[in-house]
Structure 1
């Protein structure tokens, strides 16, 4: 299997780092080698946040090269515009799915889980590994609701 490159971007407080952590764990639970890197400036004040996630049979660097991202998950329009140059020519930009998710999900705290469900349709990671990763990262009182939203988006 080739290395999969996923770039998450948005602003502080949107759950960018949490979303990347969940995907990384799910890939790891499925037996992939995973590397992750985070860049966050003024994250606590709504500043730019990005997380590079790479997984596959063997991964040596956590940083995605310019124009090599297979997937772009943007959680904010300005950050989407700023980072879309990272997406490869035939890469998948999930920003339209994010906009649709904003209309469907009434509580924005669950929007990143919705986006992970959308992303899961494109990745060969088992549902068992996704659920295990959600349970490992999400606070126990919110796990069931997150799994429900994930499954809705993954269908």
Structure 2
């Protein structure tokens, strides 16, 4: 069995359908590839059209053989929804970092009485990661005039923890978004970097 480089960076991106999880992981993958890294990505779209869980694994290094992150090996858990942050904490390595959007999306199962939303989510996250970064990204995105900018803001925060070149991030974002939204996305990205 081939051994991967021990310097592999593992980023687990999680959230619910419609939040931009897949787009964010595609941008991250593109930035890593354009920076010369071997990059692997895998994703799961569980009922994503109905607000179900969406996860994406992004791994990059000199050489990467597997696209999936094992439990306890994520360097960064980038979460678009607070309860999903709690759900995926076990994937974080002991020295890993959490970036969590503060948005709460109550799933239909909870409305149907089949569980409860973790009211102490932030405390649970801080207990596991004292350096967790919490971002109230939705109001910030709405302030920019587009709630879909949440993923660009969160990527801005993540960029401060990843050793990928800033010009690479901006070039990929500019290429992937419609030209009429390019400036707004770059402003949102920079606002995320300020938070980070």
Q: 1:116 aligns with which of 140, 143, 155?
A: 155
Q: Structure 1 residue 64 and structure 2 residue 100: aligned?
A: no
Mind listing any 5+ residue stretches in structure 1 that lack a counterpart?
Answer: none
- Identify, as 1 or 2, the structure richer in helix: 1
- Structure showing greater radius of gyration is 2
In structure 2, what is the equivalent of residue 33 of structure 1?
38
What is the CA distance between 1:34 and its match in structure 2? Answer: 0.4
Q: Structure 1 residue 142 and structure 2 residue 142: aligned?
A: no
CA RMSD of aligned residues (A): 1.5
Is the contact between residue 113 and residue 149 of structure 1 (CA under 8 Å) also seen in structure 2? yes
Mind listing any 5+ residue stretches in structure 2 that lack a counterpart?
Answer: 101-131
Is the contact between residue 97 and residue 115 of structure 1 (CA under 8 Å) also seen in structure 2? no
Q: Structure 1 residue 84 and structure 2 residue 123: aligned?
A: no
List per-residue Cα deviations over 1:39-78 (Å, max 9, x = no partner): 1110000000000000011111110000100000111122
What is the CA distance between 1:103 and its match in structure 2? Answer: 4.4
Q: Structure 1 residue 101 and structure 2 residue 137: aligned?
A: yes
Report how many residues are paired: 155
TM-score by length of 2: 0.75
Q: 2:21 aligns with which of 7, 16, 19?
A: 16
TM-score by length of 1: 0.93
Is the contact between residue 98 and residue 115 of structure 1 (CA under 8 Å) also seen in structure 2? no
In structure 1, what is the equivalent of residue 60 of structure 2?
55
